[in-house]
Amino acid sequence: MKITKVECLTVHPGWRKNLIFVRVETDAGIVGWGEAYSQYDRDRAIAAQVEELGRYVVGRDPFQIRHICQVAFDDYAQRRASLEFHCAVSGIEQALWDIVGKATEQPVYNLLGGKTRERIRVYANGWGYKLREVADYARAAEKVVESGFTAMKLDPLPRPWRTFIPRQHIRQSVDIIRGIRDAVGPDVDILLDIHRRLAPMHAIELANALAEFEPYWFEEPCQSENIQALAEVRASSPIPTVTGEALYGRAGFRPVLRERAVDIINPDVANCGGILELMYIAAAAETEMIACSPHNYNSTTLALSATVHASACMPNFIITEYFIPFEELGAKLCSNPLKPVDGYITLPDGPGLGLDVNEEAVRSMPGKPFPKRDLPLPENEGPRNTALSKAF
């Protein structure tokens, strides 16, 4: 069997960013699907990388997944990787596993060594987008719990994203998380996402201020490339720390794992290099007794299914991400999307990734540019945004 075509299909979901699907055809009539991670204003660059790399995948055996990925890095990229490169590899790699699973009539998790669990726990994200008032967060959180989730994630800090913040930002975050905890009770897990924003001194202050509400974790308090900063926060934070969504491939995770700079890693199957690379990263973390919680700011179809298949085979898996705002779109793009029940997704049992993609629907919603965002100007900066929370 040979690959005859690699196609990149961008989809406009109507919220936040375009999605990038990868369709791979073979001469045996088997079609595989995958998904590449995307970001607003960068999706066209990622799609272009899928198309360029796809030219070198045509003519190859889809079963040779490991070699295809190695050639992509060594020879195509000449060992100069990037976000766009890793996203492209991830989408294509998932599609190859989908083909292999369909050809062998096996779900992908069986081909990865077999499942270690029947259900995958998920947390809700996207539910707090653009909320400002504490009461609004509380009401939205209650709705998330009413829909069956037992865990939810949010970023409690106000914008803009800056390294040094005023104490008021910390107070506001405390008010928001207190309101949510009072609304949902003690048994719902609240996950905090800091989005690589803060200097260690502010991250530690924020973690200590929020500890009384018993958050499940404290995600990406500092830039993930600064291992020493992450380790400093982990050493002083009463909340378990997380990093990984902006790290790519095993090499990107190596310094974090070697230094035990966090308690949990969250690589994304749609940008870390794909399903097999995610398994390698998780296995490396397992040897350091670090948990793995795959990131999934992607659709509730292909990337979610790829994440579920990989997570099923990870002994150190704890929870993964589910984006509520993409749920309605997922039902249009796939006749059997994975749906959480009581906060868990049951493993699919169909071949490959186990999804029936509605190709006509995918092609009917092509990606398009989003409106230009209102990014800050120098006059928007000032003491209010840059004042330090503590004196030196």
3-class SS letters over 295-330:
ECCCCCCHHHHHHHHHHCCCCCECCEEEEHHHHHHH
Q: What is the pLDDT of residue 380?
A: 84
Is a pLDDT exceeding 90 seen at residue 44? yes
- pTM of the predicted protein model: 0.96
Q: What is the pLDDT of residue 384?
A: 55
How do residues 109-132 score in pLDDT, each as one tens digit? Answer: 999 999 999 999 999 999 999 899
Q: Where along the chain do its domains lie?
A: 3-105, 110-356
Residues in Cβ contact with 324 at an 8 Å cutoff, skipping those fewer than 6 apart: 124, 125, 126, 127, 144
Is a pLDDT exceeding 50 seen at residue 5? yes
Q: Among residues of the chain, what percentage have pLDDT more than 70?
A: 97
Q: What is the pLDDT of residue 382?
A: 67
How do residues 153-181 score in pLDDT, each as one tens digit? Answer: 999 999 889 999 999 999 999 999 999 99
Catalytic residue check, 86: no
How do residues 326-343 score in pLDDT, each as one tens digit? Answer: 999 999 999 999 999 999
Mean pLDDT of 300-315: 98
Tell me if domain 3-105 and domain 110-356 are identical in fold.
no
Query: For residue 241, what are the CA distances in angstroms to 192, 200, 210, 290?
Result: 10, 12, 13, 11
Average pLDDT over the chain reads: 96
Judge: domain 110-356, CATH 3.20.20.120. yes
From 86, 169, 295, 309, the catalytic residue: 295
Catalytic residue check, 195: yes
Q: Is the dihedral of CA 272, 273, 274, 280 positive or negative?
A: negative
Average the pLDDT over each of 12-21, 212-221, 230-239, 370-379 and give the range with the smallest value.
370-379
Q: What is the pLDDT of residue 381?
A: 86
Mean pLDDT of 173-191: 98
CATH number for the region 3-105 comes to 3.30.390.10
How do residues 380-390 score in pLDDT, each as one tens digit? Answer: 886 555 444 44
How do residues 26-36 score in pLDDT, each as one tens digit? Answer: 999 999 999 99
d(CA 161, CA 222): 11
